[in-house]
Amino acid sequence: MGNGKIIFRNRNIQKQCRNLIGTTNGKEQLNKTMGGILVSFAEVPARIKVKFNWKFRRSIINPLHSIYGNRGPTSLIFSEGFGMAAETLRWISVRFAGTSLSLPAGFGQNAIDMSNCFQHNKNTTKLRVLSLPEGCGRKAKTLRQCFANCANLTNLALSDGFGAASTDNTGAFDGCAALAYFNGNPQFKTSVDLSDSPLLTVDSLRIVINGLQTVTEAQTLTLGEANKAKLTEDQIKIATDKGWTVA
């Protein structure tokens, strides 16, 4: 199994960890402090690195839960295969304090539940760019609030087929007020709401519309007035011809 690293730049955590290292029961205390997820550690002057063996985990929920407050790591380094086997991926980056996050190849390719996967606290999140690897979200049956409250997210790279199996996209993009650019080829088959993202470019809206699956039961692509006004009748017709209502 590969080892990933999480680099903590929070000074309080660094100090706490350095104080524990070298003590008789320091490793046990540090392991408890980090929520039982620590496998190995090393003392370094400027930062603390924590290694994970999560390549074969079936469920990964809130891996940064042990970082108190909203001062999480500004840099995450995941190993190859991180999240590859997981069927449940939730709150992966809720306390991530960086501006850009890329997940490793294989992440989310077997995920069934990606509800709240990248949900943030809208008052503290700094995440602006998020890139998902190929296959991520293709098998997910629920994307409920997947990116909710990523208030500063401007660029989102979705994998080919993202959303293709999801029957619940409720609130997936709620609170994504700064979102402007989609990349990739999402293929939604059930209702999705983008009205909280009025800054989406025409090209980004076309990516969503062109990827919509043809449906036989009523589904709604909710764009909101600002987004819908950017599209021509012919562009909207692509969605309606597939059985969708565009609102």
pLDDT in tens, 16-37: 444 444 433 444 443 433 333 3
CA dist 175 → 20, 51, 61, 71 (Å)? 40, 32, 21, 21
In the chain, beta strands by DSSP E: 4-8, 48-52, 59-61, 75-77, 88-90, 100-102, 129-131, 155-157, 181-183, 192-193, 219-222, 244-246
Quick check: 26 and 40 in contact, CB under 8 A?
Answer: no
Burial of 25 from C-beta contacts in 10 A (0-12 / 13-18 / 19+): exposed
Question: Cα–Cα distance between 83 and 247 in angstroms, integer?
Answer: 35
Q: What percent of the chain has pLDDT over 70?
A: 72
pTM above 0.85, yes or no: no
Other beta carbons within 10 angstroms of residue 235's beta carbon come to 16
Confidence of residue 56 (pLDDT cuts 50, 70, 90): low
- Amino acid at the residue 245: T
